[in-house]
Chain A
């Protein structure tokens, strides 16, 4: 992995962020006007114009965009129109909640998906494989918000084990983690199974078996290591999916993370907060991608990106 590769990737990421800023700025404004939504029905047009001007929303769009970029470069994303707080400050305050939920969900997803995926490949076309397929299908096709509501219904109301909502590094984490974890587990499970199926049929596996390597070693070392690239790719993609799933999961469970405030900001056309949260998620997403690209090289020496 050369320095050129890293620098090139960083520049690409920067360009992507700039492009993202234009898109989020444009899309947010295309969708409507925050003051229109917030002001009471009977507010007079003059009063609405005054409020709009106080947020700088009366200025021409290029001017607004220039202010946005100039201030964003200094880390200032403006004040949330709805919450009257620094938008960046709100995100920083909420970041831990989202990170905690993402990590537990990813762990839950991997702990569920990897063993089931591997074992499904080994026990291909048995009842276990079929059950695994159904679970994966269900996980993939159930909308997150619906699954979340079902979990609340069953495990908060019918069997009162867990709280319905709220924040806490304790039992509060269980239901949101399962909801979001199931969402990511399904894809990882499917990819793991198919990557393992390919690997198990490869020549080196036959060689290993004929050499008399114990079966568990064949599966977990020879096959799994070679199936790692697609699994890593899907896991990384799922890390981004988690950000998407968090938007819904956090809303259902009233989990005070970035996703919840982002969706609220979109509904309320809270431009500064929409811009800040989308940019923030964009940066997180790009960082994950960058790390994954680097991890490829480390995992598989055959990948070098840049040949001299």
Chain B
């Protein structure tokens, strides 16, 4: 019998099969170890490269911070979750919190994490020359941090601090490595920051980008992407074009027409961080004393067409607000109804209050888009138009963000003005910003003793449920008083490429992107 050699075709087929088998085997191993893969590019409109979390300047610091570091508590898509603290016990009088810390956690440079680092971080904020933007809130409540043992840190408080657990700006204080920081100093740390977070620092170019790499030793679920680069791209159209060309995987800060364009593009999808902003209309009663009459404030609430603004101008990124607290705010009271758009009713109420058509009011127009209220220039112009439609003569004051901030901080607000918050996570903090009699943001126009009482009471209760009830009481009362007219609740939209699978940004913030959980398709 002649020896039959396999045909060329058959040989080729066998080789192909062998390779396929090897490939399958390799793939199998890869799935088993789930190595991080892919380089994620985020085109962002704001970037901060300030890495020392204890001297936090702006909320944009959290963008990179949330990747490099962990707080005792972290922020996830559903809200706050235990971070470096596994659990905690609050003393009966509320003046002591014992944190049990996670074991076996190391910083990116290999140093073990311990209670010393927690003490170092928080006490650095308490130092008199510290420049943390929210330092005041820490100093008001925190006396010192005691190291009970390496796995056990104790907060000794001046007064109960329930807001610590519900307010990102406190809870998410990123823990710094004491030994490393003391060795390299603040400039050295700025050049090469080290944390415990899901990503470690890779490289950066000042004013351009920051690149981070997956921390495969992360104590939680390690990141699924190999690297992530946050690129500052100032021009919105360029950010959009990068998405369409596939040069970026996520683009932040797109609103208006470009967001609509992205929505219409089948290659792109939109993911939102819900309830990252709230806003309302306030009154400077020194310039507009008639606003002391509740009917006038209610008339203005009826005059503003929130539905049209959210649909036509904001493309659904914001929705009409029924209260200043959002559904994502701790202390939110469910079941409040919207104040409907009803110009007829508004005119009637104004007439009752003795305000004649042609009454002059001053009103701010903010000429720059503001994160907490996207499209603010157009939104505010629409509101001015709504106010004119019910008979006011509106004298518009156009200001940019800097002038607007000075106006708000200097008590120079016009008769009617808008006020947004980009951190509406805690009702108590919102009361502190707007409703207590000493609040700087209201031109001291809100003087309701009951609000001061509720604020104090919720600040001093250690019990979360009791605190929630107090905040609910406030929401109910404020609905009756209507000192501040609720305007819009806003989300932060991200335009996302199709190859991004499974990504949920953190709740109520455009700055905690939660990239550690993001996965890229092949």
A-side residues, CB < 8 A to B, are 31-33, 36-48, 50-51, 54, 80, 82-85, 89-90, 93-94, 145, 149, 152-153, 156-157, 160, 163-166, 251-254, 256, 260-261, 263-264, 269
Contact = CB atoms under 8 A, between A and B. Distances in A.
A264 B234 contact: yes
A152 to B, nearest CB: 5
A54 B55 CA distance: 11
Nearest to B405: A36
B49 interface: yes
B134 A164 contact: no
20 contacts: A36-B406, A38-B57, A39-B57, A40-B423, A42-B421, A45-B409, A50-B129, A50-B130, A54-B131, A82-B48, A85-B206, A90-B206, A90-B207, A93-B205, A94-B207, A156-B241, A164-B242, A253-B238, A263-B234, A264-B207
A33 B406 CA distance: 9
Interface size class of B (residues with CB under 8 A): 35 or more
B135 interface: yes
A245 B433 CA distance: 43
A282 to B, nearest CB: 20
B58 interface: yes
B406 A32 contact: yes
A153 B241 contact: yes
Contacts of A36: 402, 405-406, 409
Contact of B134 (A33, A42, A145, A260): A42
B190 A256 contact: no
Interface in B228-246: 231-235, 237-238, 241-242, 244-245
Nearest to B237: A149
Contacts of A46: 136
B519 to A, nearest CB: 25
Nearest to A269: B402
A165 B242 contact: yes
A93 B207 CA distance: 11
A4 B372 CA distance: 61
A46 B128 CA distance: 11
Nearest to A254: B233
A279 B356 CA distance: 56
Given A31-B402, A32-B406, A44-B136, A50 B131 contact: yes
Contacts of A51: 57, 131, 133
B149 interface: no
B234 A80 contact: no
A232 B484 CA distance: 64
Given A36-B406, A36-B409, A90-B206, 18 more contacts: A40-B133, A41-B405, A41-B408, A42-B134, A42-B169, A43-B134, A44-B137, A47-B131, A47-B134, A48-B409, A51-B133, A83-B50, A145-B235, A149-B235, A152-B237, A157-B244, A164-B238, A254-B235
